[in-house]
Amino acid sequence: MSYLITGLGNVGTEYAGTRHNIGFTVLDAWAALHKTTFSTLRYGSLAQIRYAGKEIWLLKPSTYVNLSGKAVRYWIHQERIALENTLVVLDDVALPFGKLRLRARGSDGGHNGLRHITYTLGTDEYARLRIGVGDDFPRGYQADYVLSRWNVSEEKELPFICDNAIEALNLFVRQGIERAMNLVNTDKQED
């Protein structure tokens, strides 16, 4: 059984370490944990890991966040991944910094990357792991905020956030979306 986990972000050094690239950050940490690296292929960088006896493809699209659907659709078809084994990791300004929210499906919530994936796939029936990046920006400056770098205190918390996100992804693969949601979407993260 194969899985496709896509982390959203923008390619290029100017975007490294920005809030919008939290999906890339989580996938980089997961790949490092499994001592694997990404290869640059069509529509993105791809790494493969094995976990719980399952093959997991980690995808970092090279299409920029707002056109991520092209990469997701291509690799779903290329590797014959079932939609229920597809998950997208992304930033969310509606969640407090570091808070995780796992969903089996749903709206794009104003996120252009999710909007394009839903449009390209023709459905919103794929899982998503939203990672809170906070909302400390004046009205009308959301784009500047998500494309800005983490502050010093946030950066210190990133390894813990990545660990929590990786555990959520492990639960998704090991136990399925419903059970994973029950475990991830509790408030225990705030303790």
Positions marked active-site: 20
Burial class (CB in 10 A: 0-12, 13-18, 19+), 144: exposed
Q: Is residue 9 within 8 Å of 20, Cβ to Cβ?
A: yes
Task: Name the nearest CA neighbour of 6 among 77, 80, 56.
Answer: 56
CA distances from 77 to 71, 72, 80 (A): 10, 9, 5
CA distance 120 to 6: 15
- Expressed in angstroms, the distance from the first to the final Cα of the chain is 35
Strands (E) located in 8-123: 39-41, 44-51, 54-61, 86-92, 100-103
Tally of CB atoms within 10 A around 121: 16
Instruction: Record the tokens describing residue 79, joined without a space.
Output: 């590797």
